[in-house]
Structure 1
């Protein structure tokens, strides 16, 4: 269970401690859905050192946690981004057809209790369609061919590439603008040739997409809100 750590007067945050023999340094990440700070501790770090490190990062921690309050909520009347464009969730309980798009609205039918689930399923299916099309297009252009595409729901990673050539992408990418999706697909395609983050890997990424710098800055600012959407 997370432990409440006082970083400053009137500032206590939930922290989940994770011991790792493989970690070389103390690192932090925010779980966007649980709103918990995960602190990974390498061997030899004392509790006092860990808390001191947390207090030194109070600005980053509080800013990231505060940004999660801006995460899109799958509720009637709220707006969520779809392929980078804001759409208003409109509930039509008596309608039939599940979920569909009309202009700048996402219409959700059925009982209100099932809006979040139905909308999530709709976004996942759209992600399979759109991200699949975009991956195939970039694969054809680059000459790099993955063996399979998996669409998943992850708490911290936008994508991954296995040694067998299988690429995984988060369905939440369907909410991001096209340049962001282009960059992250290029990133995973580059791993088909370089299973690391070496200079050669980044050189290939830069060849595959012109959007790297913009996408990295955008994800740093907005990524946690998409990961926390529900």
Structure 2
């Protein structure tokens, strides 16, 4: 699948950032919104032309414009920004004369070094925290089932909060570090349950309910606030 940077295109409803993806699994041309970049993603099957994608974009220009306009404002990692950790706002404090990368003091994220390093260092810190927090949730859930997790990784994904590989490896979006603890608990339970059931059948959901009391409220929270998390950083 191609992964080119978004390009700015003129559509009947105005300009929009557009990313092009080619997928061997796609059966038709499709559109989706990527909140991370504030862009519309056009997915093309192997033999579909760019022209087919442009035709779909033009036909759905109003939908694209409305969806992009509805996205939450982007929140870059800069001095003074309020970044949620477990849904608690933490203010970024740039300390150019300090050393030590980035660390948390109370409800502040302190960042040492030059201003150009602030974004990367906050990002790195949150990835470490995400792996630690989600790892704790996963360890508890796996222990309840007597399962072993082959590997746990954190990534920057736009369509899934977590995934389970056939070899037992689990992967999560680092952005879950910004979600409430109950949401992290649910996503961890969801992926650990896949170690037993690699589907979304009734036995899978029954196991999720055994592993966490937070499934319904967490799904509602992610539906309402997930796009906001994807606009951070």
Task: State the TM-score bracket (shorter-chain normalisation).
Answer: 0.7 to 0.9
* Partner of residue 155 from structure 1, selected from 146, 155, 158: 158
Q: How many residues align?
A: 225
* Partner of residue 219 from structure 1, selected from 217, 222, 228: 222
* Partner of residue 187 from structure 1, selected from 181, 184, 190: 190
Q: CA deviation at 1:81?
A: 0.4
Q: Which runs of 5+ in 2 are unaligned?
A: 1-5
Q: CA deviation at 1:124?
A: 1.4
**TM-score normalised per structure 1:** 0.83
Q: CA deviation at 1:203?
A: 2.7
Q: Spell out, residue by residue over 1:166-205, the C-alpha distance to the aligned partner (whole angstroms, 9 max, x if none).
A: 0011222111110110111111111112212223322322
Match of 1:114 in 2: 117
Q: Does 1:137 align with 2:143?
A: no
Q: Spell out, residue by residue over 1:96-140, the C-alpha distance to the aligned partner (whole angstroms, 9 max, x if none).
A: 332222221111111111111111111112222222122111211
SS of structure 2 residue aligned to 1:157? coil
Q: CA deviation at 1:161?
A: 0.6
Match of 2:98 in 1: 95
Q: Does 1:4 align with 2:5?
A: no
**TM-score normalised per structure 2:** 0.82
* Partner of residue 50 from structure 1, selected from 37, 56, 62: 56
Whole-angstrom distance in 1 between the partners of 2:118 and 2:22: 39
Match of 1:166 in 2: 169
* Partner of residue 82 from structure 1, selected from 70, 77, 85: 85
Q: 1:77 and 1:17, CA in 2 relative to 1: closer, same or farther beyond 3 A?
A: closer
Q: Spell out, residue by residue over 1:59-108, the C-alpha distance to the aligned partner (whole angstroms, 9 max, x if none).
A: 762354x32x2x33211111000122101111121123322222211111
* Partner of residue 67 from structure 2, selected from 54, 61, 68: 61
Q: 1:58 and 1:98, CA in 2 relative to 1: closer, same or farther beyond 3 A?
A: closer
Q: 1:214 and 1:52, CA in 2 relative to 1: closer, same or farther beyond 3 A?
A: farther
Whole-angstrom distance in 1 between the partners of 2:22 and 2:131: 36
Q: Which runs of 5+ in 1 are unaligned?
A: none
User: Is contact 1:74–1:229 with CA below 8 Å preserved after alignment?
Assistant: yes
Match of 1:34 in 2: 37
Whole-angstrom distance in 2 between the partners of 1:47 and 1:151: 32
Greater alpha carbon shift after TM alignment, 50-59 vs 220-229: 50-59
User: Is contact 1:81–1:176 with CA below 8 Å preserved after alignment?
Assistant: yes
Whole-angstrom distance in 2 between the partners of 1:81 and 1:146: 28
- Please give the root-mean-square deviation of Cα atoms over the aligned residues, in Å: 2.7
User: Is contact 1:84–1:175 with CA below 8 Å preserved after alignment?
Assistant: yes
Whole-angstrom distance in 1 between the partners of 2:11 and 2:210: 46
Whole-angstrom distance in 1 between the partners of 2:100 and 2:22: 48
Match of 2:3 in 1: none
